[in-house]
Structure 1
Amino acid sequence: MAKTNPVEFFQQVRAEARKVTWPTRRETLITTAMVFVMVVLASLFFLVADQILSFVIAQVLQIGR
């Protein structure tokens, strides 16, 4: 593996950094909003699933009494 000197390395890093396409402000806001929406939906799903499982387990445990 060929070694590159530090100057050449940083030139290559800068060249690669110029190729990066950054999202626009609008894209960032939309993506952030979608993440929050999905977090809320997942939270509601797991809340409902937990309540259902708690109810079912409580019913099963009461059968033995």
Structure 2
Amino acid sequence: MASKTNPFTFLQQVRQEVSKVTWPTRRETMVTTVMVFIMILLAAFFFLAVDQVLSTVVGMLLDIGS
């Protein structure tokens, strides 16, 4: 079981760990955000196309059966 630390020691440890983090620059954040939106749009268009093709195929199969 871990030993308990007082709040002051805990906050010191948190500050030490946060200082080790490499934060992204504003430019890196913007580029990554734009890339995420581009990937979302590509995925949306892909699934739209697949949905349209499957809808057409199922419609054709149902027309054959009637």
The TM-score by the shorter chain falls in which range? Answer: over 0.9
Pair 1:40-2:41 in alignment? yes
Rounded Cα–Cα distance in structure 2 between residues aligned with 1:6 and 1:64: 72
Rounded Cα–Cα distance in structure 2 between residues aligned with 1:57 and 1:64: 11
- SS, match of residue 3 in structure 2: coil
TM-score with structure 2 setting the length: 0.94
SS of equivalent to 2:62: helix
Q: Which amino acid aligns with 1:49?
A: V
Correspondence for 1:30: 31
> What is the TM-score with the length of structure 1 in the denominator?
0.95
Paired positions, count: 65
Aligned pairs for 1:41-56 (under 5 A) are 41-56=42-57
In structure 2, how many angstroms separate the alpha carbons of the residues matched to 1:6 and 1:26? 36
Q: Which residue of 1 aligns with 2:13?
A: 12
State the alpha-carbon separation in 2 of the partners of residues 40 and 57 from structure 1: 26
1:2 aligns with 2:3: yes
The gaps in structure 1 that reach 5 residues or longer are none
Counterpart of 1:36 in structure 2: which amino acid?
F
Hey, which bits of structure 1, 4+ residues long, moved more than 6 A? none
